[in-house]
Amino acid sequence: MNEQFEDNALQKELGIDSAEVAVRKAFLEFTEADAALLKDLHVRLEAGRDSFSTAFYDHLKHFSEIVPLFGDDAKLERLKCTQSAYFSQLTSGEYGSGYIENRLRVGMIYQRVGLSPKWYIGAYRKYMGEIMPIIFQLLDGDTEKCIATYSALLKIILLDMELALDTYFHAEHQAIVREKRYTEQIIAGIPFGLAVVDSQLKVQSVNDALLRMFDLGAAETCTGLTVPRLLGLTDGDMTGELQGVLDHGKMRSGLAFERHDPLGTRYFLADISRAQTEGQQTRLLFMVQDITAYKTAEKRAQYLAQHDALTGLPNRSMIYDRIDYAYTLSRRGEGTVATMLIDLDRFKMINDSLGPSYGDVLLKLVAGRLREGLRESDTVGRVGGNEFVMILLSMTSADDAKVVAKKVLGALVEPFWINGQQVYLTASIGIAVSPADGEDAQELLRNAAAALHQAKKDGRNQFHFFQAEMNRRVQHDMQLESGLHRALENYEFELFYQPQVNLHTGEIIGAEALLRWQHPERGLISPADFIPMLEENGLIVPVGEWVLRAACNQAKAWRDMGMKSCRVAVNLSAIQFHRQDLCGVVQQILGETGLEPEFLELEITESTIMKDVGRAVQMLRGLKSLGVRLSVDDFGTGHSSLNYLKRFATDALKIDQSFVRDIATDPDDALITRTIIDLAHNLKMKVIAEGVETEAQLAFLLNNRCDEMQGYYYSKPLPAGEYTALLTEGRPLNRPEMNSGRTLLLVDDEENILSALKRLLRRDGYRILTATSARQGMELLAAHPVGVIISDQRMPEMCGTDFLSKVKELYPDTVRIVLSGYTELQSITEAINRGAIYKFLTKPWEDDLLRENVRKAFEYFELSSEKDRLTAELLASNRRLEEAKHQLEERVDEKTVEALRNLNILQVSQEILEQLPVGVIGVGEDGLIAVANHVANRIFARDGDGPLQGCFAEERLPGGMLACLDGSPCATSGLECKLADGRRMEFWCYHMGAMSQGRGIVLAFAEKN
């Protein structure tokens, strides 16, 4: 055939060019003679084209796949014309590029609207069946020509079908390609490493994250390796785990392994699951996460839970444990045990005059001297700001403690050298001997504190043993305790409320209820003086219950007044928390007061929870089931494990004020605070900081994404009436301004230098802050988003490099410059090597050079900040993608279960319908029979007709039944009608819609005898 083809875009996309069309025609043996026969047929068919198209279209209208595509009459008419033109082109005799393009586009349209290939083939079958007698009639019964013409038509129809199937196959291929590309994008974006492993335990493919995680180079080099060899592990347990999942199919999660690199040990966590596709071999998915940072933080937190962050000595928690252990030894007769409480004289004055940095160094040096000469069995720890404890085991008599005390005093009286300066220090020591002076850690330390008080009173720089006459304090405590027994019944207790503020909005979100004792003679007594007594004598239980009930009543009153911020937090003591009936008590009080559970928060200290972790977890879950909010108080001061923390059903962590106090100046406190905030957020918990008193502390917390705060910076604890007035006022938190411009900090102890620098650099548009000391500089850094710091090297309290080294720990993103007239090469070099300073510039400076260096420093800072921002956005996007993936999987699972359940219901309903002994027919609003059971089909069966479904009611049902379908009123039961063959039917009519969204009519009927 000599038809000319000009391949168009659609044909090229599907790979059907003129050569391909020619090959297909050759396979079908389609010749020019066939085209001529079809042209002749085309002319003959044109006269009856409209009537044939109308009849064929009326048939197509009853196909269930087409019904949803129908719209108004105009649309129906367009579809009819399109169908007519389609069949007309079939016999046109012109089958070049235009014809092929048209057929491909029609196939694409059918595929897009949801018509399946079986519908396409069924339509052509109907067409061939209808056209055969018409061809025979039009060709005057010429059998040979009829057969030749019909054969030609069949060939071109087969060509059409091939083209249609091509479009369907192409669409499916494109969908698979899109799905594959989408899947590859998801895999490339997930933050954990992924390897696909075959049934021989060999790696088939890996993602980019795994390559980066293990520095593997190109993905191609990984194919065919075993997982242990790929990861640099020894063959062993991991191979066994892989084989186990392959054999049994059960997913293995949380497989921990280590990898020892030259730079240190790295920790990983792996999951293994089995993936099997129908008709393909089984594969394993090996997913791995680098948890080194988490492990490091966990070890650090575990260490800090039992050690003082500054000195590295055991903290109060560990000292209590050691004292109790020592007391047990003394009871067994293994010698006398002495507890020595050591307090540094005049330390506060030294700390205030020289600065906290000097104070920190001094405490470290003191800790070192106390360690020296200590026996291996003895312990020294830090229990407070400048308080240390020594525990001396297996002494033959109290005289041994006296020898050690003298040795300690002698060691501490020697001068300390700090930054080339001598500092002189003395100490006072109180000693309690076990078992004579106490039976547990608390009593021994209390008695040692009484002896220490006497040593200070007698002139300092000496030691005292605890003696009976020191019990004056005990007598005082007894008087207070006696009053406590009457305080509750005499209504002497009162609740104060300290606001808790949302740091993001500045609004009050609740308050902590704080117990106060208004003594009739001594006035307002500090909680520190009487709450320990309540815990010792057991009164904490009834008093604690009173506090809980009073706080709930007050919160309910605020609710009734329309106050929004009426959440109230109540501290639970250790005794309260470990009582079995706590959940019942809380539930009862909530019921009595009418307060909704979400407006009550219960605070439990970290140490309380850790006394009995198993029981604590159960108690926390029980309280959580009531709907109340739970928080861990004084977090960071105890010794909880991160592993345990994950099991606690808590909503928030409360940063202890001992860390908040120095977060603006102490790198250790700042690190601990940041760690707690990050830990809480990773565990989906809120963070509240208590004891916030300064703008610098607040700014630090804001910059590090702390959620809530309470403290004197916003408000002291208030009586209920004053707190109500504060709620009504709605005073927002006064948050420090976070200027987003270029902020420069200048630190120099000479005012004239600061003025000169400020005049020079102001012209470049910087926001300039000035400080005359390192301490003042630290406070400004905490309160403002500083980008670049210029510090003098020689300053009285702290040299520039030491100051900037400390700044690096607290604010590592800042760019730090030293400006000095003295060249101290060694210290400057060391600071540069540590990364503490960015540049060293000399005085006097050259104006243009200084301005240029500052400009470049800000450019460096902004580039680094932008990189950090993008990294944070990427991590956030990955987290959102992972969450979306999980949500999608859950949604798919839910819909699958729902579909299977609905399918099961449908199958059961269908079976019930078929088992009924009467006929049942369901007719839609459009008059189409949608449902008919086998009894109905048997009764209304007619020769040559198919089943009732899909037929119109008016075509198959008797007039008596049709009367119920036209909307005219009729009885719903006891109706009769007569069939054409004389059989009489009794039927019942039911209009749908009363119990469902369905519309239409249900007919039930039976033959009447």
Task: Give per-residue pLDDT as tens, 595-618.
Answer: 999 999 999 988 788 777 888 888
User: 745-780 b/e with 16+ CB inside 10 Å = b?
Assistant: bbbbbeeebbebbeeebeeeebbbbbbbbbbebbbb
What is the Cα–Cα distance from 93 to 38, expressed in whole angstroms?
6
> Which CATH superfamily is 916-1007 part of?
PAS domain (3.30.450.20)
Can you name the CATH fold of 743-871? Rossmann fold (3.40.50)
CATH number for region 9-186: 1.10.490.10
Supply the mean pLDDT for the chain: 83
**E strand or H helix at 351, and its extent?**
helix 347-354
Cα 605 to Cα 75, 542, 865, distances in angstroms:
73, 19, 37
Residue 828 has pLDDT above 70, yes or no: no
Tell me the sheet residues that pair with 977. Answer: 985
Q: Which of 3.40.1390.20, 3.40.50.300, 3.30.450.20, 3.40.710.10 is the CATH number of 190-290?
A: 3.30.450.20
Examine residue 542 and say whether the peptide bond preceding it is cis (omega within 30 degrees of 0). no
**Band of pLDDT at residue 4, cut at 50, 70 and 90:** very low
Q: Which of 723, 53, 749 is nearest to 355 (CA)?
A: 749
**Band of pLDDT at residue 283, cut at 50, 70 and 90:** confident
Contact in structure between 517 and 492 (CB atoms under 8 Å) = yes
Structure pTM? 0.44
Task: Give per-residue pLDDT as tens, 118-177.
Answer: 777 777 777 788 788 888 888 888 889 899 998 998 998 898 888 888 888 888 888 788
Task: Give per-residue pLDDT as tens, 674-684.
Answer: 888 988 888 88
**Band of pLDDT at residue 489, cut at 50, 70 and 90:** confident
Average pLDDT over residues 192-217: 86
Cα 216 to Cα 229, 265, 845, distances in angstroms:
11, 18, 50
Average pLDDT over residues 799-824: 82
Contact in structure between 983 and 963 (CB atoms under 8 Å) = no
478 is written with which tokens? Answer: 């007894």
What is the Cα–Cα distance from 801 to 1008, expressed in whole angstroms?
109
CATH number for region 305-474: 3.30.70.270
Report pLDDT for 234.
73
**Band of pLDDT at residue 516, cut at 50, 70 and 90:** very high
Rounded (10°) CA dihedral 690, 696, 698, 704: -100
**What is the 8-class DSSP label of residue 598?**
G
Residue 475 has pLDDT above 80, yes or no: no
Task: Give per-residue pLDDT as tens, 27-66.
Answer: 889 899 988 998 988 888 877 777 777 766 666 666 666 6
Residue 518 has pLDDT above 70, yes or no: yes
Q: Which of 636, 633, 714 is nearest to 673 (CA)?
A: 636
Contact in structure between 768 and 744 (CB atoms under 8 Å) = yes
Q: What is the DSSP string of 933-953?
A: -HHHHHHT--TT---STTSBH
Q: Which amino acid is at 940?
A: F
Portion of the chain with pLDDT greater than 90, in percent: 19
What is the Cα–Cα distance from 212 to 206, expressed in whole angstroms?
11
What SS3 class is residue 192? Answer: coil
Task: Give per-residue pLDDT as tens, 767-786.
Answer: 999 999 988 888 888 878 88
Residue where the block lists tokens 């900040």: 865
3-state secondary structure 823-863: CCHHHHHHHHHCCCCCEEEECCCCHHHHHHHHHHHHHHHHH
Give the strands of the sheet with 815-820, arranged side by side: 767-771, 743-747, 788-792, 815-820, 839-842
Residue 470 has pLDDT above 60, yes or no: no
Task: Give per-residue pLDDT as tens, 6-17.
Answer: 556 777 777 788
Task: Give per-residue pLDDT as tens, 307-349.
Answer: 998 999 999 888 888 888 888 877 777 778 889 999 998 888 7
What is the Cα–Cα distance from 336 to 432, expressed in whole angstroms?
11
815 is written with which tokens? Answer: 């760019």
Residue 106 has pLDDT above 90, yes or no: no
**In the chain, ranges of CATH 1.10.490.10 domains:** 9-186
Report pLDDT for 670.
84
Residue 115 has pLDDT above 80, yes or no: no
Task: Give per-residue pLDDT as tens, 550-584.
Answer: 999 999 999 999 888 789 999 998 888 888 789 99
232 is written with which tokens? Answer: 């640099």
Report pLDDT for 510.
94
**Band of pLDDT at residue 3, cut at 50, 70 and 90:** very low
**In the chain, ranges of CATH 3.30.450.20 domains:** 190-290, 916-1007
Instruction: Give the relative orientation of helices 32-46 and 49-60 as an angle to the nearest 10 degrees.
Output: 90
601 is written with which tokens? Answer: 């928060």
236 is written with which tokens? Answer: 């062993």
Contact in structure between 842 and 824 (CB atoms under 8 Å) = no
Q: What are phi and psi of 187, to 5 degrees?
A: -60, -40
**Band of pLDDT at residue 408, cut at 50, 70 and 90:** very high
Give the strands of the sheet with 975-978, arranged side by side: 929-932, 919-923, 1001-1007, 984-991, 975-978
Report pLDDT for 390.
93
Q: Which of 583, 467, 487 is nearest to 533 (CA)?
A: 487
Examine residue 527 and say whether the peptide bond preceding it is cis (omega within 30 degrees of 0). no
Of these ranges, 135-139, 469-473, 650-654, the one predicted with the greatest mean pLDDT is 650-654
What SS3 class is residue 931? Answer: strand
Q: Which amino acid is at 902?
A: N
Higher model confidence: residue 217 or residue 640? 217
What is the Cα–Cα distance from 812 to 818, expressed in whole angstroms?
16
Give the angle 423-429-430 at the CA atoms, nearest 5°.
160
Cα 598 to Cα 186, 551, 584, 709, distances in angstroms:
38, 14, 17, 19
Task: Give per-residue pLDDT as tens, 914-972.
Answer: 888 888 998 888 888 888 888 888 888 776 677 888 888 888 888 888 887 776 555 56
What is the Cα–Cα distance from 398 to 323, expressed in whole angstroms?
16
Task: Give per-residue pLDDT as tens, 854-886.
Answer: 988 888 888 887 787 787 677 767 767 776 677
Write out the E strands in 680-727: 686-690, 708-710, 718-719
Give the angle 269-305-682 at the CA atoms, nearest 5°.
40
Residue 2 has pLDDT above 50, yes or no: no
Q: What is the DSSP string of 753-782?
A: HHHHHHHHHHTTT-EEEEESSHHHHHHHHH
Class of residue 210 by CB neighbours under 10 A (exposed 0-12, middle 13-18, buried 19+)? buried
Portion of the chain with pLDDT greater than 70, in percent: 89
**E strand or H helix at 495, and its extent?**
strand 493-502
Residue 5 has pLDDT above 70, yes or no: no
**Band of pLDDT at residue 426, cut at 50, 70 and 90:** very high
Q: Which of 3.90.580.10, 1.10.1040.10, 3.30.70.3270, 3.20.20.450 is the CATH number of 491-658+685-729?
A: 3.20.20.450
Contacts for 313 with CB less than 8 Å, ≥ 6 apart: 307, 367, 380, 381, 382, 388
Higher model confidence: residue 758 or residue 394? 758
Tell me how crowded residue 87 is: count the other CB atoms within 10 A of its CB: 16
